[in-house]
Amino acid sequence: MTVKTNLFGVLADIAESSAIEVEGVTTTNDLVREVQKKFPSFHRINFVVSVNRRVVSAGENISENDEIALLPPFSGG
């Protein structure tokens, strides 16, 4: 299964894109593992995952049409 994942902040800067497609994932844990494989520097960033506009904790199931976003902390003021 492929899910579209929106990226924010420094994650979008690293990926040079505000959205990526991630294949072969059924849970948020799979998703995090896959994006970290795709972009190794994501490992060092403490981002949170939102599914259908809700920030979720680890291990949530996801399906194809879910709206997924990865949010790192912002620092600027």
Partner 1 sequence: MLSNQDISRYNRQLMLPGFGKSGQEKLKNSRVLVVGAGGLGAPVLQYLAAAGVGKIGIIDHDVVDETNLQRQVIFDEKDIGKSKAEVAARYLTQRNSLISVQPFNQQLTPANVENLFSDFEIVVDCTDNFSSRYLINDACAVMEKVMVYGSIHRFQGQVSIFHLNGQDSPTYRCLFPEPPEPGTVQNCAEAGVLGVLPGLIGAIQANEAIKIITRLGDVLSGKLFMMDALTMESSLLEISRNPNTDSITPATMQEIRNSRYQFACDAPTNVPEITSADLMNRLKNGEKMEFVDVREPDEGPPPNELASRQIPLSELDAQFDDFNPQKTYILFCQVGRRSAWAVHQLKEKYQTGKFLNLKGGIEAWNQKNVE
Residue numbers at the binding site for partner 1 (CB under 8 A): 8-10, 13, 18, 44-46, 48, 50, 53-55, 57, 69, 71-77
Smallest distance from partner 1 to CB 77, Å:
4
Tell me which DSSP letter residue 70 carries: E
For residue 11, give Cα distances in angstroms to 14, 45, 63, 69, 71: 5, 8, 22, 11, 8
Q: Which residue, 65 or 75, has its beta carbon nearer to partner 1? A: 75
Tell me which DSSP letter residue 57 carries: -
Q: Which residue, 64 or 76, has its beta carbon nearer to partner 1? A: 76
Smallest distance from partner 1 to CB 7, Å:
11
Q: Which residue, 13 or 24, has its beta carbon nearer to partner 1? A: 13
Whether residue 1 contacts residue 26, with contact meaning beta carbons closer than 8 Å, is answered with yes
